[in-house]
Amino acid sequence: MKIVPAAMTLTLLILVSLIATAQTLPSGLSATAQPSQEAGQDMTELNSLLADLQQWTLLASHDLAGLRIEKWKTDNPQKMQMEEAVTSLQRNLATIVPGPANDLRNAPGSASKSFKLYHNMNLVYEFLSSVTGAAGSFGRQEEYGPLAGDVASLSKLRHRLSQYSDQAAAMLETDLQEAKAQEAKLEDLMEAAAQASAQRKAAIEDPAPAKKPKKTANKKISAVGIPAPAQ
């Protein structure tokens, strides 16, 4: 019966550990890794947020189109400034959803795309707040009311996007920490496997000298005296 050397046994055990560890690697290290439950929940929230944002842009565009700035109780330079602001707002609303919003939907974990959408929403919020304030001062209540509701709704959407971005960033940081821990574990296992393999190779190339059998000392047999014959 053949006896497996200890070094070979250790190598096999380490290789089995490497395979088991590779099967549990987090996303980004293993192609077969499954998305976590939190990631699914975040994706659901993102889809809901983007759908609400799209509906909001349609409503806000409709409310802006209903403004009659030419009838506002202010001077012509102020009216022209507000008309330019409304035109800019409508242009941004027409591109925010098919642009930055879709970019984030296609890359939900991207911090840069999340920030880009948040930046666009902030610009729209500032312009819309300015136009809404002017509508309240110079326009009719029928114009101001819907715009004030649009501003409030956009503020809530911005808050939701901020929360999503914070959660996505925290999840990404956790995944990176887990990945680093798994990489360190793999490196330790591979180093141990390399050392065991080197020990086995050295044992094969330079086997220990066989022990010489001990010589058995020859026992001397003492001669037994033969009694003399009786006379």
pLDDT digits (tens, 9 = 90+) for 118-172: 999 999 999 999 999 999 999 999 999 999 999 999 999 999 999 888 877 665 5
Give the pLDDT of residue 158.
94
Biggest alpha carbon–alpha carbon distance for the chain: 171
Tell me the pTM.
0.60
- Domain residue spans of the chain: 38-184
Amino acid at 82: M
> Across the chain, what does the average pLDDT equal?
76
Q: For domain 38-184, give the CATH superfamily.
A: Alpha-catenin/vinculin-like (1.20.120.230)
Sort 76 into a burial class: Cβ within 10 Å, 0-12 / 13-18 / 19+.
Answer: exposed
Name which residue leads in pLDDT, 202 or 69: 69
Of 213, 217, 143, 161, whose CA–CA distance to 46 is shortest?
161
The CA-atom distances, in angstroms, between 204 and each of 7, 22, 197 are 11, 30, 11
